[in-house]
Amino acid sequence: MQNIPISLAKAGMVLAKEIKNSADASAMTICGKGIKLTEPLIDRLQRMGIQSLVVEGHPVHVEGEASLEEMLTALDRRFSSVEDDPLMMKIKDIYRKQIQRAREEPDAG
């Protein structure tokens, strides 16, 4: 899942979170989770003033953002002092899987 500026949205990307009319949780939903973006929909959202959206996978590289490899290396470094602790290694494995899942590309279908 990745939060991207709407200017980087492309047709075919899939919304990972619904788009609301405002930051208020009770606001009207403009577009639901799981909707596949199209060029006309992206244009309409831009005209409505939507600045960013959350899409499935990690389709866009943002300048200054760590790569998957960098994130996993940093995780290894953070847990290096507790490698003999089985519980901490389970926690590390949970974090590793979450990082990898967050960077998965959406299904092509």
pLDDT tier for residue 109 given thresholds of 50, 70 and 90: very low
Which residue(s) pair with 53 in the sheet?
4
pLDDT tier for residue 1 given thresholds of 50, 70 and 90: confident
**Rounded Cα gap, residues 53 and 5, in angstroms:** 7
Q: pTM surpassing 0.75?
A: no
Which of 13-17, 59-63, 84-88 shows the lowest per-residue confidence on average (mean pLDDT)?
A: 59-63
**Rounded Cα gap, residues 88 and 101, in angstroms:** 20
DSSP 8-state symbol, 54: E
- Per-residue pLDDT, 101: 80
CATH 3.40.605.10 fits 2-55, yes or no: no
- Domain boundaries, given as residue ranges, for the chain: 2-55, 68-102
- Per-residue pLDDT, 23: 64
Count of CB atoms within 10 A of residue 53's CB?
23
Q: Is residue 102's pLDDT more than 80?
A: no
24-82, pLDDT tens digit by residue?
Answer: 667 788 888 999 999 999 999 999 889 989 998 877 777 777 888 888 999 999 999 99
